[in-house]
Amino acid sequence: MKIVAAKKILKANDQLAAANRRFFHQAGVFVVNILGSPGGGKTTLIESLASILNSNGAISVIEGDLAGTVDADRLSARGLPVVQITTEGACHLDANMVAAALDGLPLSRGGWLFIENVGNLVCPAGFDLGENLRIVILSVPEGDDKVIKYPTVFQSTQAVVISKVDLLPYFEFQPQRVRETLSRLNPQASVFEVSAKTGQGMGELAEWLIARRTAAACEVAG
């Protein structure tokens, strides 16, 4: 019986992710990996950001799902170039999947690539895709205890987006509890409270992304 250690798999993924990262740098594309639970609002967030960021570079999307093309069809209907990755049961995207998807995706220098990962707060945390940064979405209906229950994914992110804040009056969700827990777990992570439905907080998040892209470009140039 052959046994393959998980560390070996992750090392191979990290090597492929490094190759992806070099490709993205050379292409001049800023890559955002979006993680979160099913129904947390990942697709809606991309739609909202696309409408704000479209004057700041072309936007392409890699859509990851276990099955079906519902979200990819939805984004494509808005005119966004989308490649669907159907994982057929795998609970996360990996660097090899992303590399394969790039063949069918138009990327523009100075543009954006949003990767919507499979809905999951566990598996995606350990797999670098070659992205510039990660965003974890935490929706109000999910509860404010997710940072405590799923620390790994929140430790590996550069930002937490508390989504669907228009529903705060109807749920016992305390944004301050999320901020306090995150400050102990990952004090460098930014926190944004947004509603894609009303537009609340979306401008602030878009400005932060543009600033991060500018900083990344300066680092490469330097």
* Per-residue model confidence (pLDDT) at position 3: 41
How is the chain split into domains, by residue range?
6-221
* Per-residue model confidence (pLDDT) at position 4: 40
* Per-residue model confidence (pLDDT) at position 1: 52
Give the mean pLDDT per block of 10 residues along the chain (222 residues): 52 94 96 97 97 93 93 95 90 95 90 96 95 98 97 97 98 97 97 96 98 86 58
Q: Are 26 and 115 in contact (CB under 8 A)?
A: no
Q: How far apart are CA 30 and CA 48, in angstroms?
A: 17
Q: Considering the entire predicted model, what is its pTM?
A: 0.93
* CATH number belonging to domain 6-221: 3.40.50.300
Q: How far apart are CA 122 and CA 37, in angstroms?
A: 9
